[in-house]
Amino acid sequence: MAVMEKKAGASLPVRFRRGVRFVRTRLRELRMIIKALASTKHPILVHIIPMRQCNLACAYCNEYDDVSKPVPLEEMKRRLDILAEMGTSIITISGGEPLMHPDLDEIIRHIRLHGMIAGMITNGFFLNRERIERLNAAGLEHLQISIDNVMPDEVSKKSLKTLDGKLEWLSQYAIFQVNINSVLGSGVKDPEDALKIAHRAVELGFTSTVGIIHDNNGQLKPLGTRELEIFEEIMTLGKRSFSRFNDFQHNVARGKEHNWRCRSGSRYLYICENGLVHWCSQQRGYPGIALDQYTPEMRHREYFTEKFCGPRCTVSCVQQVGILDNWRDPQPLKPMPMAPPAAQPELVQIGSARSDS
């Protein structure tokens, strides 16, 4: 099809700068892993939300509005200072749509100033050559775009047709690493779309991952035969990505519950636009404490707290963080102001609720 005919390539100087940043980022990631294995006292990954507003309105999304203002730069810097003080290794900027924030470049610079790894999740609609070069200059190290279908429909405009030109610009000008995430499962009209998206990502030199959506009853449901084949093929295509270490995804694809230790609230934090700490994007509201009042003792408690939503969780970034601690420290504690289990289906990333991470 027309959107996949063109093949872009980067110039020699861009390839050189990309290689240098790749090696530097990999070394910093290695240091992050060593530090995480040596100590459990700091957050490994934090999602921050500088902008809740989004230019799109994907039908399944519960993470955006169309009215909220950007969080002021000074406030974002203050939050990043606190996170750096905690010893955080990686900051991923999410939303809403972070590219709508007027001071995004300064936020990225501030992350790098503190020596933390800087990533971003975006719908990509505002990318152009100039914007990509500004992100290069600010020091961005990872960027993820989630693409839902080949052609836009009433559920999602994040399609390969709409975004392919942006992907080509990224392939030509970005010196940071790019990952393209596609989706399979309940509500996805054509599973072959995920395969086309993943192949296009690899063709352009990006890594590729796949997320799985569940049915609206909150039940783990195995993928069909063809969907499973597509899933396994994309996991193979994505072999350069960290997600290949994630057994959980294979369990989810087969409808199996997963036995792991979610360390959200401790090793992973989700900081909303109001500066409150939450377990993750799908468990907003708990613990709901302001970042500047979130003590090491609270993080320590959450580290040892079992999460009732763990077995059916589909938040892959938290599971990847969990790999570094799954082998140690059982979780005997229960959440303090615990939400009743009846609230679970609407909180976990299942059915109509879904995150890009």
Q: Is 144 among the residues that bind ligand SF4 (CB under 6 A)? A: no
Q: Is 178 among the residues that bind ligand SF4 (CB under 6 A)? A: no
Size of interface with ligand SF4, in residues (CB under 6 A): 25
Which tokens in the block code for residue 267?
Answer: 């090793």
Minimum CB separation of residue 253 from ligand SF4 in Å reads 17
- For ligand SF4, which is the closer residue by CB, 115 or 285? 285
- Do residues 64 and 55 make contact, with C-beta atoms less than 8 angstroms apart? no
> Which residues between 194 and 253 bind ligand SF4 (CB under 6 A)?
none
> Which residues between 81 and 140 bind ligand SF4 (CB under 6 A)?
95-97, 123
C-alpha span between 354 and 27 (Å, rounded): 32
Q: Which of 310, 320, 325, 350 binds ligand SF4 (CB under 6 A)?
A: 310
Minimum CB separation of residue 68 from ligand SF4 in Å reads 12
Q: Is 356 among the residues that bind ligand SF4 (CB under 6 A)? A: yes
Q: What is the DSSP string of 272-313?
A: -TTSEEES-GGGTTSEEEEGGG--HHHHHHHHTBPPTTGGG-
- Do residues 9 and 171 make contact, with C-beta atoms less than 8 angstroms apart? yes
Minimum CB separation of residue 120 from ligand SF4 in Å reads 12
Q: Which of 175, 234, 309, 353 binds ligand SF4 (CB under 6 A)?
A: 309
Q: H helices within the chain, ranges in order?
A: 12-38, 73-86, 104-113, 129-138, 160-173, 192-203, 225-237, 247-253, 296-303, 316-323, 344-347
Taking contact as CB under 6 A, which single stretch among the options 60-68, 72-80, 235-243, 298-306 is the one that binds ligand SF4? 60-68
Q: Which of 56, 82, 202, 289 binds ligand SF4 (CB under 6 A)?
A: 56
C-alpha span between 94 and 61 (Å, rounded): 13
- For ligand SF4, which is the closer residue by CB, 58 or 201? 58
Q: Return the number of other C-beta atoms located less than 10 Å from residue 45's C-beta.
A: 24
| 295 to 41, 85, 303: CA distances (angstroms) | 11, 12, 13
Between helix 104-113 and helix 73-86 the angle, nearest 10°, is 20
Minimum CB separation of residue 23 from ligand SF4 in Å reads 31
Q: Is 57 among the residues that bind ligand SF4 (CB under 6 A)? A: yes
Q: Is 44 among the residues that bind ligand SF4 (CB under 6 A)? A: no
Q: Which residues here bind ligand SF4, judged by CB under 6 A? A: 54, 56-58, 61, 63-64, 95-97, 123, 262, 264, 279-280, 282-283, 307, 309-310, 313, 315, 318, 348, 356
